[in-house]
Chains A and B, each alone.
Chain A
Amino acid sequence: MVKHHLFWPLTVLGALLLFNLVYSPAFFRIELRNGQMYGSLIDILNFGAPLILVAIGMTLVIATKGIDLSVGSVVAISGAIACLLISKGADQNAFGLVMLAVAVALALSVALGIWNGLLVSVFGIQPIIATLILMVAGRGVAQLISGGQIITVNSETYNYIGAGALGSLPFAIYVVLIVLLVASLLTRRTALGMFIESVGGNPTASRLAGIRSRAVMFAVYIFCGLCAGVAGLLLSSNVSSADGNNAGLWYELDAILAVVIGGTSLNGGRFYLMGTVIGALIIQTLTTTIYIIGVRPEITLVVKAFVVLIVCLVQSEAFRKTLVQRFKMRKYPLEQEVKRHA
């Protein structure tokens, strides 16, 4: 059981939840108001949705031995363009207008994914540099789109995407489920998953085995861009505004962290989508927990970093081994003692 790739991520998540159970039992309370569920757990799923989406895309990129630093900027661009289009509309609530805005935002995200894919797979630029370009430039593009201002929209239709409810659950959760389902089907029902793992594991051997590694790389960067685009829509529609400066800021780092916590190696190869989802949930739970227990704002980041450090150590096999060895060494004299007395 310990060998299962979800064991440690689930253990950490469980430990975090357990801490909350002891510290603030209200954490687990879920209320039904106007037919909609409210509570910390629901909040975690709802507010964690954008991060989960970005991290799912990031997982596939990392599995090919790549990385995408531009996701945070794509989040900002996608939200900004959608809000801009809607804010210019005569009737901001018009279903057609909102759909158009969503479509344009997603198309733009795909185009940005193509840009990254082009730099990485055709021009052979190292992924970290290639995507760094869009990370920096993209932030500027987002500010251009929003004219340096925060664009606010007044559209209930748009607001539904990030803040609405379907049944009694937030709509965002369904969006995550759909993207997760699509990603799983795409990678596990088609051969794409095997190709991704193969290209990430050994690009030369993969090429010689006849895999079109360029196409595979293109695909993952496009998918990653698309995921970031959807995340941008969720974020901006949740607050009915787009902030080119701050939307999606540092998302790339949280996403990479979620992927790593989820068990996918930065060296590429095997990837675990469910692991990533749990990794993202751990990060979101941690953030929520820090708010709930009222850590002073100026030290929240330090506390977060500390917990992340522990999570990473627990997951490190080398660290666990050292720990076990230390433990054994300590026991050793005792055993001899017992023998001597026997």
Chain B
Amino acid sequence: MKKEQGPILTMSGIHKRFPGVKALTDVSFRLFPGEVHALMGENGAGKSTLIKVLTGVYAIDSGEIELSGKTVHIGSPQEAQLAGISTVYQEVNLCPNLSVSENIFIGREPRRLGKIRWKQMHAEAKKLLEDRLQLHIDVTKPLHSYSVAVQQLIAIARSLNISAKVLILDEPTSSLDRNEVKQLFQVMNNLKAEGLAILFVTHFLDQVYEISDRITILRGGEFIGEYAASELSRIELVSKMIGKAFVELDQLPKVRGTASKELSDVTAEAVQLGRKGAIEPFDLRIHKGEVVGLAGLLGSGRTELARLLFGADRSDEGILSVHGATKAIGSPRQAIDHGIAFCSENRKTEGIIEELTVRENIVLALQASRGWFKTISRKKQDEIADEYIKAININPPNPEHLVKNLSGGNQQKVILARWLLTEPKLLILDEPTRGIDVGAKAEIQKLVLSLSDKGMSVLFISSELEEVLRVSDKIAVLRDRNVVKVMTDDELSQQQVMQAIAGG
């Protein structure tokens, strides 16, 4: 770290208001060349807003941004890029149908006489990926033929290409597995050594300490402090983020297990249910009030299994029975009618309806069950929305807020509320805590436990093994699109589950 150079980026006294919300209040932020700087905070703390301010998506109300010692006005994402600020967002925003090299050079293809010089472009793309990112792939293939992790690296490569001084990585690891994270960190370390300043946003505490030099904490849109990572303990970090003495997540009732429960009624049972190319035939029995965890690496078939149960995809073999009766579930509509609910892992594309309000998003599934004409009265809708906003702590507590203006964690809660309202017998949660902060994570885990105590069955999918272990009575382990093992109470140790995931 070469601090004597002085910061490359200084933001001071930044204020930003949205109608009804103070998103940022007097926030400062500094970034030095050759460092990885973690921006931490709960959902709604203002991290995303700060980044959007920095990348020219939002205009600031007041405050000053200095880049390389000069005051700059960043009016648009293009201006940010020209100034040397590049961003890789949580959701990769590239063109999946174009080739890797086209994605890297889009808009700046090497040309001669107006024609794109394909050979040169492919060669340069290949060189860039190999030299700086240690990524050896065929750059002429379309982007969608690569995993999300590779796509993420390609997104980074693309932003590097524009003579970047500052690289912003917004939740780059949320959909990566352990090895992929390692690869990403390797790349980050290389770039850091080259003198690039990296702003890193994540919810994984381990990763913060693994890679970051310094940490800036925001809370409720306010600047809490800037610390050297080596001088800030985890407990301090978390308590500063949530602003109260830290209740350790581990204190949640961890003793799950079938012993404490009467497992008589079967809510749902799959017998040799499968779908070609998605998941091999599997058996799974979910009892009343049971939390079944699905563990496995990304792409092991967890989501595919859930989608079969919910009828989002059709099964092409096997039997699914709900409450003892065989059901052919061919659509989400039918699954919902049988008391199944499904929170997708893709909040934005498969969960929320951005343009609608919190209230409308909450009542949507219940209204869909009732059909066109049995309308839920506006008064009743308001009551429902208020009730759930209070019950699961949706912030800001305004039912008429457009859901797109909420933070990720609160959007997740809105979708949860939507499904809880339908009083499902089986609730399927696919990565319900992805990309949301520690506090909200604990809230959601607690909610799952209390729901199961009330007799609801839950299918809980998560990439975080600890989390799965904490909430589940039973864990089904998936590997390579197969359910390889179903483990119950006394077998539930991290070690054993890990072994099952890894195989051998």
Interface residues of A (CB under 8 A from B): 189-192, 194-195, 197-198, 201-202, 204-212, 269-270
Contact = CB atoms under 8 A, between A and B. Distances in A.
B352 A205 contact: yes
A206 B418 CA distance: 12
Given A189-B375, A270-B355, A211 B350 contact: no
A197 B355 contact: yes
Nearest to A3: B19
A269 B332 CA distance: 21
Given A190-B373, A205-B352, A212-B333, 19 more contacts: A191-B368, A191-B371, A191-B372, A191-B374, A198-B353, A198-B356, A198-B360, A198-B364, A202-B349, A202-B354, A205-B350, A205-B351, A207-B332, A208-B342, A210-B336, A211-B364, A212-B368, A269-B355, A269-B356
Contacts of A197: 353, 355-356, 360
16 contacts: A191-B368, A191-B370, A191-B372, A194-B363, A195-B367, A197-B360, A198-B356, A201-B356, A202-B349, A202-B353, A204-B349, A210-B332, A210-B333, A212-B333, A269-B353, A270-B355
Contacts of A207: 312, 331-332
B242 interface: no
Given A197-B356, A202-B354, A210 B349 contact: no
B344 interface: yes
Nearest to A212: B333
A204 B368 CA distance: 14
B364 to A, nearest CB: 5
Contact of B354 (A189, A201, A212): A201
A205 B349 contact: yes
Contacts of B161: none
Shortest beta-carbon contacts, A-B, top 3:
A269-B355, A210-B368, A210-B336
Contacts of A211: 333, 364, 368
Interface centre among B336, B367, B368, B369 (most CB of A within 10 A): B368
Contact of B355 (A189, A191, A201, A204): A201
Interface residues on B, range: 20 to 34
Interface string B369-408: 1111111100000000000000000000000000000000
B154 interface: no
B167 interface: no
B365 interface: yes
Nearest to B336: A210
A222 to B, nearest CB: 14
Given A201-B354, A205-B353, A195 B332 contact: no
Interface string B309-342: 0101000000000000000000111001000001
Contact of B375 (A190, A201, A204): A190
B350 A208 contact: yes
B93 to A, nearest CB: 17
B366 to A, nearest CB: 9
A194 B355 CA distance: 11
Contacts of B375: 189-191
Contacts of A206: 353, 364
A204 B372 contact: no
A209 B364 contact: yes
A208 B332 contact: yes
Interface string B168-185: 000000000000000000
Contacts of A191: 367-368, 370-376
A157 B360 CA distance: 47
Which among A190, A207, A208, A270 has the greatest number of chain B C-beta atoms within 10 A?
A: A208
A194 B312 contact: no
A115 B312 CA distance: 27
Contacts of B350: 204-205, 208
B339 to A, nearest CB: 12
Nearest to A325: B75
Q: Which of B331, B344, B355, B363 has the most CB of A within 10 A?
A: B355
A206 B349 CA distance: 10
Contacts of A212: 333, 368
A201 B367 CA distance: 17
Interface string B95-129: 00000000000000000000000000000000000
A270 B367 CA distance: 18
Contacts of B369: 210
A205 B353 CA distance: 7
Contacts of B336: 210
Contacts of B418: 209
Nearest to B378: A188
Given A190-B372, A190-B375, A208 B364 contact: no
B275 to A, nearest CB: 17
A206 B353 CA distance: 8
Contacts of A269: 353, 355-356
B307 to A, nearest CB: 9
A141 to B, nearest CB: 32
Q: Which of B336, B351, B372, B375 has the largest count of A CB atoms less than 10 A from its CB?
A: B372
Contacts of A201: 353-356
B392 to A, nearest CB: 18
A269 B402 CA distance: 12
A201 B369 CA distance: 19
Contact of A194 (B342, B351, B364): B364
A194 B360 contact: yes
A51 to B, nearest CB: 27
A184 to B, nearest CB: 14
